[in-house]
């Protein structure tokens, strides 16, 4: 299976929403308020409302003069995302949100509450162009990239919902972000990196979530992995490998036709060397496709050789998607696979999957309404 993939990771701004406060860095915010004829200090004042107080409606920013709120709203707070619906499971502690962007584009995010943390899985694109055949998002194709602000606002909205007690379990705090929703994050590179900086910078520049609690996932865009390593960030890189041999991966992850496993692992090793961070390898276990004992052995051997102790394998039981011919591996096969990877000196565990019954688990997001 051959898929045409762009050589340049950042597509033009075509179809993007108008400029929003969250698209701007500190210098850009100051320039924007000066364009409005306002003093520079208003830039940080507005940003603190958005990032610290999680307020996105200028009409409610009561420390701003009433006379300028509408002007600020028009210039810096265009409509971004509106809730189409929430769907919940796990006694309300897992909540999937279907969003509609200003141009009608649909996307999804998933908020998962655990005893020790609250994790938000966010989308970086509407749809996905990577065409992995076992993933509902990939099979739907790519609609467009999301803007930096559309990515960030998923996080702001979830943080506000937790703070205000809208999620089962009472008021809480958003602690972890995973770029594992719709889309290939590194195919929207510039905006994703900007979003990471907004998410992790302290107010007034961002939401103040620790970089070490942010995971950026990729199917293996090797040059972009290397570029990310040079950004000076401390986020966790997650590489969706799904098989250790190129022959099968060419089919399961078509981008492998351009950047094969050896090149992906070389870039991953560069990331680990440069950042000092342990890398996560994601492996969707599919019955009779990639769950063979010899593949477990090969996976462990290759990862140990490339990364030593700086890698952890997350085995993900395949989540069902409409029309898929594939299924999850039986538990005994899954357990043997994990055992064999661990035997190669590579830590390997089965991920606790949430949201399968509401099509909110890995590979199930399709933004259907």
Active site residue 348: no
15/360 Cα distance (integer angstroms):
26
**Selected catalytic residue, list 108, 121, 150, 348:** 108
Binding site: residue ranges? 128, 132, 135, 183-184, 217, 240-242, 319
Reported as type and span, the H/E element at residue 84 is strand 81-89
Look up residue 178 and give its two tokens.
């995973």
Look up residue 210 and give its two tokens.
């620790």
The HSE-up count of residue 193 (CA atoms within 13 Å, CB side) is: 15
Look up residue 192 and give its two tokens.
């994703």
Binding site for [4Fe-4S] cluster: residue ranges? 128, 132, 135
Among 251, 248, 254, 242, residue whose Cα is nearest residue 217: 242
Residue that has been written with the tokens 């000196």 in this structure: 345
Binding site for S-adenosyl-L-methionine: residue ranges? 183-184, 217, 240-242, 319
**Selected catalytic residue, list 150, 282, 348, 362:** 362
Q: What are phi and psi of 119, to 5 degrees?
A: -115, 135
Beta strand spans in 125-278 (E): 125-127, 142-145, 176-179, 214-218, 236-240
Among 17, 320, 358, residue whose Cα is nearest residue 191: 17
6/129 Cα distance (integer angstroms):
10
- Let me know: does 131 contact 249? Beta carbons within 8 Å: no
Active site residue 121: no
Q: Spell out the residues 6+ positions from residue 65 whose beta carbon is closer than 8 angstroms to its own.
A: none
Which class for 131: exposed (0-12), middle (13-18), buried (19 or more C-beta within 10 A)?
buried
Q: How far is CA 45 from CA 71, 154, 155, 236, 325, in A?
A: 15, 21, 20, 31, 54
Cα three-residue angle 252-257-260, rounded to 5 degrees? 90
Active site residues: 108, 362
């Amino acid at each position: 299976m051959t898929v045409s993939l762009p050589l340049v990771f950042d597509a033009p701004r075509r179809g993007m929403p108008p400029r929003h406060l969250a698209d701007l860095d500190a210098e850009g915010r100051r320039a924007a308020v000066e364009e409005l004829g306002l003093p520079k200090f208003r830039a940080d004042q507005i940003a603190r409302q958005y990032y610290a107080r999680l307020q996105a409606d200028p009409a409610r920013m009561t420390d701003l003069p009433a006379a300028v709120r509408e002007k600020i709203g028009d210039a810096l707070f265009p409509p971004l995302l509106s809730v189409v619906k929430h769907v919940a499971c796990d006694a309300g502690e897992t909540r999937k949100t279907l969003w509609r962007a200003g141009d009608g584009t649909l996307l999804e995010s998933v908020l998962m509450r655990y005893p020790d943390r609250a994790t938000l899985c966010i989308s970086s694109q509407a749809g996905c162009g990577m065409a992995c055949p076992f993933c509902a998002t990939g099979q739907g194709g790519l609609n467009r990239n999301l803007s930096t602000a559309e990515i960030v606002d998923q996080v702001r909205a979830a943080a506000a919902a937790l703070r205000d007690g809208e999620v089962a379990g009472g008021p809480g705090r958003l602690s972890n972000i995973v770029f594992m929703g719709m889309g290939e994050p590194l195919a929207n590179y510039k905006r994703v990196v900007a979003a990471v900086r907004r998410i992790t910078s302290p107010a007034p520049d961002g939401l103040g979530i620790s970089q070490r609690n942010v995971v950026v996932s990729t199917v293996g865009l090797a040059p972009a992995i290397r570029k990310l390593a040079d950004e000076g960030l401390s986020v966790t890189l997650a590489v969706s490998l799904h098989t250790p041999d190129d022959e099968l991966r060419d089919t399961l992850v078509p981008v492998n036709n351009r950047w094969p496993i050896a090149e992906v692992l070389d870039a991953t090793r560069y990331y680990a060397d440069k950042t000092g961070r342990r890398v996560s390898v994601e492996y969707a276990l599919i019955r009779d496709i990639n769950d063979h004992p010899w593949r477990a052995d090969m996976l462990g051997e290759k990862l140990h050789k490339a990364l030593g102790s700086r890698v952890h394998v997350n085995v993900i039981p395949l989540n069902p998607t409409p029309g898929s011919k594939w299924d999850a591996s039986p538990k005994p096969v899954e357990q043997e696979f994990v055992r064999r990877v661990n035997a190669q000196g590579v830590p390997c565990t089965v991920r606790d999957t949430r949201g399968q019954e509401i099509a909110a688990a890995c590979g199930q997001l399709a933004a259907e309404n």
